[in-house]
Amino acid sequence: MDASIPPPHKPGRLTAFLKEGGPELGELKADSCGLLERQSCCQGFGVTMLAQGAFARAELCSCVKNCRICLGRAQNVASGFAKDCRTPSPVRVVNILNEATLPVRYQNARLDSFQNLSGNHSQVLSKVRNWLNQFNPLGPKDSQSKGVILGGNVGVGKTFLLVAIGKYLAFKGLTVKFVDFFQLITEIKAQLGSRQEFYHSLLAPLINVDVLLVDELGKGRQTEFEHTIIDQLVMGRYNQNKVIVASTNCLLFADQAYYAQRPLDQEGQGQFNPKAFPPLVDTVGERIYSRLTETTHMWELTGDDYRRKKG
């Protein structure tokens, strides 16, 4: 073993190593650090996903935990200073993913593993990839990117894509938060008898996060209370120049409003009929819809119900 590199798991050696200095990054062998090349265990990101409880969990990959260079800190010494092995740091990415509340069913969701090959999936995936490549939510106002709203029938893969987008952005170092709109309404209603600060504590993280992921936008009974929550979320983020990435079963455009309306949670008969869902403008109101059209790309995803085909 190189004498300049401390053996792993020995107390006090990391502090001494950082003070005394060690090999420059360019001097390390390719197999000495798991993040210097895209190893199959984590593709060089240093993060692995786990199924744990209701939400997907992340942890540092074993190649980082067992690294003899950093002893699991995901850092190395260059020019006498400790620097992250990669940017963003795997430690930061793990923290972001564990705060994102991504549903555990979609822990392995990635754009390149999307499996519903019917309909216009290839065109929408191409749009999503191009959008992600240019996405810059934290830049100057005149260069900031729009968000995205994915519309489409039940089972075409909207939630899968929503989570895949969230994971992609998390690995870029952006903070993300996933929320099912109907569940959010239920949680807030449960707090109505509490003090006002508890009520706002549920909304504040959703307004302040870099990218908010909203599944089933507009789902509910279109009550005044639900419209108020949508208004606070959209307006809170709109006023801070922060984007929303969402999915919805509602028709994206009012000129598609040829439908027989029924409650969105009512069981349909036979083949799913998208005309049973009202247009998005009806579910969120003109004021919010106007702001969503200004700040998001609206793309309709077509195709078969993948869950029925798989089942």
Residue 4 lies in a domain: no
Residue 8 lies in a domain: no
Range of the domain at 178: 106-310
Q: Write down which residue in 60, 81, 99 finishes a domain.
A: 99
pLDDT in tens, 126-137: 999 999 999 987
Residues 281 and 173 in one domain: yes
Per-residue pLDDT tens digits for 195-225? 556 667 788 899 999 999 999 998 877 778 8
Q: Which of 63-77, 195-209, 258-272 has the lowest mean pLDDT?
A: 258-272
CA geometry: angle 53, 188, 108, nearest 5 deg: 30
Domain-located, residue 201: yes
Q: What is the pLDDT of residue 197?
A: 60
φ, ψ of residue 225 to 5 degrees: the values are -65, -45
What global pTM score does this model have? 0.79
**Torsion from C-alpha of 202, 205, 208, 210, nearest 10 degrees:** -130
Whether the pLDDT of residue 263 is over 60: the answer is no
If one counts the domains in the chain, the total is: 2
CA 91, CA 89: separation in Å to the nearest integer?
5
Distance from the first to the final alpha carbon of the chain? 54
pLDDT of residue 259: 43
pLDDT of residue 34: 60
Distances from the Cα of 281 to the Cα of 102, 214, 215, 247, angstroms: 27, 16, 17, 14
Is residue 270 domain-resident? Answer: yes
Q: What is the dihedral of CA 98, 100, 106, 108, to 10 degrees?
A: -50
User: Which of 65, 99, 133 is the last residue in one of the domains?
Assistant: 99
Tell whether 75 and 147 lie within a shared domain.
Answer: no
DSSP-based helix, strand, coil % in the chain, nearest 5: 40, 15, 45
Whether residues 62 and 165 fall in one domain: no
Residue 1 lies in a domain: no
Are 256 and 121 within one domain? yes
Domain final position from 83, 99, 115: 99
Residues 34, 147, single domain; the answer is: no
Write down how long the chain is. 311
Residue 26 falls inside a structural domain: yes
Q: Is residue 7 part of a domain?
A: no
Residues 171 and 267 occupy one common structural domain: yes
Kindly report, residue by residue over 280-295, the tens digit of the pLDDT. Answer: 998 898 999 999 999 9
In a domain, 2, yes or no: no
Summarize the confidence of residues 164-174 as an average pLDDT: 96
Amino acid occupying residue 174: L
Residues 133 and 280 reside in one and the same domain: yes
Residue 210 belongs to domain with CATH number: 3.40.50.300
In terms of domains, do 112 and 177 share one? yes
Whether residues 246 and 163 fall in one domain: yes
Q: Do 192 and 262 reside in the same domain of the chain?
A: yes
On whether both 126 and 202 belong to a single domain, the answer is: yes
DSSP 3-state of 287: helix
CA pair distance 94, 84, nearest whole angstrom:
14
User: Residues 120, 187: one domain?
Assistant: yes
Rounded Cα distance between 87 and 93, Å, is 10
**DSSP 8-class letter at 76:** E
Query: Which residues are CB-contacts of 156 (< 8 A; sequence separation ≥ 6)?
Result: 116, 119, 121, 301, 302, 303, 304, 305, 306
Contacts 24+ apart (CB under 8 A), 274-280: 274/153, 274/249, 277/249, 277/250, 277/251, 278/250, 278/251, 279/250, 279/251, 279/252, 279/253, 279/254, 280/149, 280/151, 280/217, 280/218, 280/248, 280/250, 280/251, 280/252, 280/253
